[in-house]
Amino acid sequence: MKTIAAVLREMGKTSPYGDSKPLAVEEVELEGPGPGELLIEVAGAGLCHSDLSVIDGSRPRVMPMALGHEASGVVRETGAEVRDFKAGDHVVLSFVPSCGRCVPCAEGRPALCEHGARANAAGTLLRGARRLRTQTGGTLHHHLGVSAFSRFTVVAQESAVLIPEDAPLEEAALFGCAVMTGVGAVFNTARVEPGSSVAVFGLGGVGLSAVMGAKAAGAWPIVAVDLLESKLALALRLGASHAVCAAKEDAVEAIRQASSGGVAYAFEAAGSEKALSQAYAATRRGGKTVTMGLPHPAREFRVPAFSLAAEERVVLGSYMGSSVPRRDIPRYIAMHRAGLLPVDLLRSRDIALADINSAFDELSRGEAVRQIIRFN
């Protein structure tokens, strides 16, 4: 069948992307689902900084690639050997397919699935297939097993999570990355305790989700840090008790003042080693510093070695919120419906696929939190 997709052929084109147009919106060929695979009609796809990092080349991927990894949709067809899905099911897509057989999966850490990581690096689905082709028959790689910026896509069944049919379908896309990563870092990685103090550095979709998660966990105070006043204002609406503009004041000192010397949990979601260093400095003795951001691979983070033992400090990495998607996505949707996670406030605006390049300009300038591509 044919579908319309946003295809990246060359990384590193300069902004403004509305002019350089790194993504070509074009008709491509999509094979039907093979064994263990699903044909998905995409309802909504979110634009994320992880997509932007592929476009600008800071996270290299195999080219050419049909981009996009945060999405929701409807199952339209199932391949052989599909057990848990049927046509008409509503799903959220997860950007790490988990095989269920490797050691990390057996340990309950599907975000670190070895087979999923290899497939994502190779630009294939979990079992090694590629279902996308150019109009001339050339290979197109899958982005993190999802390739969400397309009217239709084929995914491994392990990439899909069943959700209630009465959940807002387009908005549900945000649970596949932003919410799962940010809220998951609070509940799964850090395990924030009620009444404990929290700081969040970087208020994109992931950081703002961490603010929501901290509020839902009963943390206080919750200090939000960013360079943009607009994002700080949104953080206050989402549950932050304090807002610190790092462009105008010393963020570490402001956090120490707000938390009587330092927070129990500091989260870095800016994708910056400088922000991570500040988060570590703002963490109290015995506290946890959690990094969710993805800086350029060449960047390094250094801490005083003495402080790790003498102050019993803990530094934790959190990928995909240390989540188990089939457990956590339905749980977070339930929390949203209960009023604990106001995810709808992350939705900056809806766009058409044709506007995707200029939309990434808005994302790179910090003017948008989550823009959702609507296909209906």
Across 63-73, average pLDDT: 98
Whether 332 is covered by a domain: the verdict is no
Residue 254 has pLDDT above 90, yes or no: yes
Its domain, for residue 350, covers 2-176+342-374
pLDDT band of residue 325 (cuts 50, 70, 90) is very high
Map residue 151 onto helix, strand or coil.
coil
Q: Is the per-residue pLDDT at 297 higher than 90? A: no
Instruction: Please name the helix (run of DSSP H) or strand (run of DSSP E) that holds residue 335, with its range, or none.
Output: helix 325-337
Q: In terms of domains, do 121 and 107 share one?
A: yes
Interval 129-153 mean pLDDT: 96
Is the pLDDT confidence value at 126 over 90? Answer: yes
pLDDT at 298: 87
Tokens at residue 321, please?
């919120």
Number of domains into which the chain is organized: 2
* CA geometry: angle 41, 18, 13, nearest 5 deg: 95
Does one domain contain both 195 and 228? yes
CATH number at residue 294: 3.40.50.720
Shared-domain flag, residues 171 and 311: no
- The CA distance from 299 to 295, in Å, is 7
Structure token digits, residue 336: 């949203």
Q: Which helix (H) or strand (E) holds 49?
A: helix 49-55
Give residue 296's pLDDT.
Answer: 86
Q: 189 and 163: one domain?
A: no
At 376, the pLDDT band (50, 70, 90 cuts) reads confident
What is the distance between the alpha carbons of residues 148 and 371, in angstroms, rounded to a whole number?
A: 13
125 & 222 share domain = no
- Does any domain span residue 223? yes
- Is the pLDDT at 213 greater than 80? The verdict is yes
Query: 194 and 237 share a domain?
Result: yes
The residues, any chain, with a CB within 8 Å of residue 234's CB and separated by 6 or more, are 203, 208, 345, 369
User: 228: which residues sit within 8 A by CB, 6+ positions away?
Assistant: 203, 245, 366
Residues 8 and 138 in one domain: yes
Same-domain check for residues 66 and 166 = yes
- Asked if the structure places residue 336 within a domain, the reply is no
Q: Do 288 and 351 belong to one domain?
A: no
Same domain, residue pair 263 and 352 = no
Is 126 inside a domain boundary?
yes
Q: Is the pLDDT of residue 359 over 90?
A: yes
Please, are residues 138 and 62 in contact by the beta-carbon 8 Å criterion?
no
Q: What is the pLDDT of residues 14-29, one digit of tens each?
A: 999 999 999 999 999 9
Instruction: Please indicate, yes or no, if residue 280 is contained in any of the structural domains.
Output: yes
Domain match, 13 and 154 both: yes
**Are the CB atoms for 280 and 252 separated by under 8 Å?**
no
- Tell me the pLDDT tens digit for each residue of 162-206: 999 999 999 999 999 999 999 999 999 999 999 999 999 999 999
User: Would residue 309 count as lying in a domain?
Assistant: yes
The enclosing domain of 167 has a CATH number of: 3.90.180.10
Bridge pairing between strands 132-133 and 23-30: antiparallel
Provide the pLDDT for residue 81: 96
Q: Is 290 helix (H, G, I), strand (E, B) or coil?
A: strand
User: Could you tell me if residue 331 is inside a domain?
Assistant: no
Judge whether residue 250 has pLDDT over 80: yes
Residues 311 and 350 in one domain: no
Percent of the chain with pLDDT over 70: 100
* Domain end residue (candidates: 284, 304, 319): 319
E strand spans, 176-313: 198-201, 222-226, 242-245, 263-268, 283-291
Q: Considering the domain boundaries, does residue 333 fall inside one?
A: no
User: Are residues 343 and 336 in contact, defined by beta-carbon separation less than 8 angstroms?
Assistant: yes
pLDDT score at 284: 97
